[in-house]
Amino acid sequence: MRQLDCSLVEWMRSLNLFRKLGIKEEVFTTGRVDSIGEIEREIRQGVLLCDFVSLVFNVKITGVFREPKTENTCLANIRKSLDVLRR
C-alpha cells in the first residue's frame, strides 16, 4: 500500500497537478506532499476530485462548494464530479 501511495503522489507531482489544482505543497508539515493521507481532507470534501475531473476532461464543473461545511455539501461535490465521469 505504501508503494501505491508513493506512486500516486509522484504521478500527481509529475503532472504538476498540485500546482494546477491549487494545492500549495509548502503548507503541509513535511514541506511537500509525500502521501495521499496528507491531502485526505481535500479528497473527502470532494473539491480535489472536482478539480481533478475538470482538469482531466477539460470541463468546468459549476457550483462546487470550495469550503464545504457539512457532509451533504461534500457529497454534492462528489456527485458533481461523478456526473461528469458518467457522461
pLDDT in tens, 33-53: 777 787 788 788 998 889 889
Q: How many domains does the chain have?
A: 1
DSSP 49: H
Range of the domain at 22: 2-86
Distances (CA, A) of 24 to 31, 39, 41, 67, 79: 10, 11, 14, 16, 25
Whole-prediction pTM: 0.72
The secondary structure of residue 21, as a DSSP letter, is T
pLDDT in the model for residue 31: 53
On whether the CB atoms of residues 17 and 55 are closer than 8 A, the answer is: yes
User: Residue 5: which region, alpha, beta or left (left: phi > 0; alpha: psi -120 to 50)?
Assistant: alpha
pLDDT in tens, 2-29: 889 888 888 877 877 777 666 665 554 4
